[in-house]
Amino acid sequence: MRFYNSITAPALAFLSSSTVTAQKVIDLSTAQWTVSSPSLNISVPGRVPSQVHLDLYRAGIIPDPYFGLGDFELRWVTYSNWTYEAELTELGTSSELSTWLLFNGLDTFTSIEVCGHHVASTNNQFRQYYFDISTILSSCSNTPTLSINFGSAINITADIAAQPGQETWPQGVEGLFEFPNRQFTRKEQSDFGWDWGPAFAPAGFWQPAYVVQVPQGGIHVRNSLLDIYRQGQLNNLPPNQNAPWIVNASLDVLGTIPTTANLYIEIVNMDNIAVTSGTPQNITISGSTITGSITVDGEACQLWWPTGLGSQNLYYFKISVVDNGKTLTSTTKRSAFRTIVLNMTPISNFQLAQGIAPGNNWHFEINGKEFYAKGSNFIPPDAFWPRVTKEKMIQLFESVVDGNQNMLRVWASGAYTPDFIYDIADEMGVLLWSEFEFGDALYPVNSEFLENVREEANYNVRRVNHHPSLALWAGGNELENLELPTAEEVDPGNPKWRQEYEQLFLDVLLPAVYSNTRSISYIPSSTTNGYLALNFSLPVPMIQRYDNKTKGSIYGDTDHYDYNSAEAFDLTSYPIGRFANEFGYHSMPSLQTWQQALVPEDLHFNSSTIILRNHHYPAGGPFVDNYANSSKGMAEMTIAAERYYPVPHLSDSVANFSAWCHTTQIFQADFYRSQITYYRRGSGMRERQLGSLYWQLEDIWQAPTWAGIEYDGRWKVLHYVAKDIYQPVIVASYWNYTTGDLKVYVTSDLWTPIYGVTTFTWYGYDGTILGPSMNISFNVGALNTTQLWATNTNTIGYDLNNAVLKMNVSAVGSLPNSAETKIFKHEFFFHALDLGKVNLQDPGLTLSYNNQTENFTVEATKGVAAWVWLDIPAGTLGNFNENSFWLVPGERREIGYTVKSDMSGGKWVNGVTVRSLWNNTLT
């Protein structure tokens, strides 16, 4: 069910069905803004939301920041202060009105003035700020003016770091990418640089801003909390699925709430049919917040499920503040009934009896059901958030769903995700593991910093809690598995670093979650061994395990990065854990994407611009000549390509560059497939592994990165391969190439048993069938795996330089929450590791297009085609329903496609090309 954030006519009637005390809300995007820097003699039109770089680009002052080396050449913008100014021409003038400024995101250090009078200063990109300016407005002699000066975050953080007595940390604890000192400021940490993105450190309104006017005694909802949970539910613990629902609503308002006020909650489905309504009996009013809850019969509503596991049933919840029969204000949230829990409880005796290793669980449960989390890591989709549109995010999330992914980890150290992205995730059934914006550093714990974070955390937890796609809150990125061990290694035995870590991530962030919501779990670090104890009678309920592990037991989740490509397919090098939250390797984007950011002269593999746009490995400071470190990352891609595949030597330099880029993508996808199949097989092994989220979903710009989707939405080889290997039922081989031991498993993430047959056929690379096919019947239990076959490649009788094994599975089963029986099919090829040494043959690929079916057909007419790739020309954004596959002679593969944008008027179909790994052997 996909709504794409649309509101039906019946729902609109519901939203406007009651009278609300008159209030005026002025969207400041309608004002006429200027942005200026007197010291630079620049003044241009501005926008809200926007950021300085974007406004200067629109005015022609600077080129596209993403072109060439703009992240270096435009640093003068980052080092400067900028002022946004506008007249407030639409204000009501009555003295009975209270007037407020309401900012949902100021990035980051500001000084705010109205009519030349100082209103306030801000220092947190992630907080909502609101200021009563009624008194100041009464002194304005002319049309009121609003002026906001944005200071240079780079300069200000340097000043903070240089303050006498300022905290310092052991060497290496701060992940230093480009600009230093990011841990001192509550600004998007990746704005200071990361190994996959630029360091623009922008300034401006990254979120909407408003002026709100309410009459005397009136109130306006500025933020709200809606928490839907099972009666008796506690954070981090599986609830009783038979208990009724509790709907807890809490509104934060501008103005004063009457002490006699009450709440009224109405729930309707998407067809505007009433589910229930009621007045809470437990109203509390604290400051400018009013809270109350009602109980809802569990039989009265349908559950929300992630994609692939059921329907995304959504409801509207209208919450009104009423007093003496009069509605003072109201707000409507779209939400759903579901429970989502990160289960980290100890392994039970029942689980031990099933063969699961002792330790603790580490998996998600939706509505009381274990499921396999399949997905990737979501990073900021642009260095400039105002460019992140609903249209672009719908396209991205369509790719997520089309790629068989049901969960994204929203990486810490970016920005808190705007509501419209959660809305899309709600509609499409994509779970969002969300994180507070801390990562790859330890942070200050002075009272001012902690209070600033407390406000930030409370605002964002309350803001997004109503979204059923919200799956988890994590404190930050790589803290317990990287930062604390680094501190211990450099400063052994000093308890200070763990104590300070707990001050922020257990004493501040955990209460921000637990005090606002019962429905969401919390972990302090993205990679963690879980807790030793969870005791809600303690002031801080969670006691972390850290390294208090018992030999033979398995705890927590894992990450894995190994840039020695010689070990890429060594299964013993992969971590054994309950869940894999990030793993990966970098690759180049396509030629079409590079052409968006480079002049033609730079379209070769090791051009200076490409090397400097590659931020792996990072410069380690604000340096613009990072050739030495970047070249190491470029070499890793080159060596991996040369180690496992024939590499191109085409006479056409641009075609050769394109083929090299593509070959790095093949290795990346090959490596990820090996890991994903390994982790998925773990669902039936002693580790009971129930999740794999690879690094990373998408790009922030055009550069070599770990992404599977390029900046404009074009799919890399990785996304196609992940789509294939994230199917519900897969067959895969697991080879110990040292001993020759080869095993084949069928793995299913369905919730009921399946049965079927797998067919094994050996082919020569010339397409010859080397022997009779072998059929093996199987049964696989729910969310489990079964070994089909075991052999040794030293004794099979085939030379792997001349032979490839094709495996086809056909299984009968049912999708979760469905009684319909269907056939699940999957194909997998086992081959020698080094395809550069095998006897590749010209597969004689042919490609045709049928105007009636609007499908392409690919056929191998001569030999086995390895890594078949259909390529869409520049100017068209789309994806095929499958790509990056192997093909044997006699098979005709019909390929459909989805077009997302097209500048060719449909002529792109004539420009589609097909290639395979054989093309790398041509000149």
* Number of neighbouring beta carbons within 10 Å of residue 455: 17
- Cα distance between residue 61 and residue 466, in whole Å: 42
Token pair recorded at residue 903: 């500048």
876 close to 899: Cβ distance less than 8 angstroms: yes
Which residue is it, tokens 């039970």? 348
Task: Say which residues have a Cβ less than 8 Å from residue 635's Cβ, sequence separation at least 6.
Answer: none
Nearest to 237 by CA among 514, 482, 433: 514
Concatenating the DSSP letter of every residue in 836-902 gives TSS------EEEEEETTTTEEEEEESSSPEEEEEEEPPTTEEEEESS-SEEE-TT-EEEE-EEEEEE
Say if residue 665 is preceded by a cis peptide, omega within 30 of 0: no
Backbone φ and ψ of 676, nearest 5°: -65, -45
Number of C-beta neighbours around residue 671 at 10 A: 23
CA end-to-end distance (rounded Å), the chain? 49
- φ, ψ at 276 (rounded to 5°): -170, 170
Of 119, 48, 109, nearest to 80 by C-alpha is 109
> Per-residue b/e over 76-92, b at no fewer than 16 CB within 10 Å?
ebbebbbbbbbebeebe
Catalytic residue IDs: 478
3-state secondary structure (DSSP) of residue 33: strand
Contact 351, 331 (CB under 8 A): no
Residue labelled with tokens 């926008």? 47
Q: What is the pairing mode between strands 373-378 and 407-410?
A: parallel
Question: Angle between the 390-402 and 419-428 helix axes, to the nearest 10 degrees?
Answer: 30
Q: How far apart (Å, rounded) are the C-alpha atoms in residues 110 and 187? A: 12
What angle (nearest 5°) sits at the alpha carbon of residue 718, between those of residues 876 and 640?
120
What is the rounded CA–CA span in Å between residue 328 and residue 212?
15
The answer to whether 703 touches 596, Cβ cutoff 8 Å, is no
Q: What are phi and psi of 438, to 5 degrees?
A: -140, 140
Query: Which helix H or strand E contains 644, and what residues bound it?
Result: helix 627-644
* Residues making up the chain, counted from first to last: 923
CA dist 708 and 875 (Å) reads 19
| 3-class DSSP state of 149 | strand
Q: Which residues contact 74 (CB under 8 A, 6 or more apart)?
A: 53, 62, 65, 200
579-583 sheet: strands from edge to edge = 522-523, 470-474, 431-435, 407-410, 373-378, 691-694, 579-583, 557-560
Query: DSSP characters for 825-837?
Result: EEEEEE--S-TTS
What's the rounded Cα separation, in Å, for the pair 713 and 726? 20
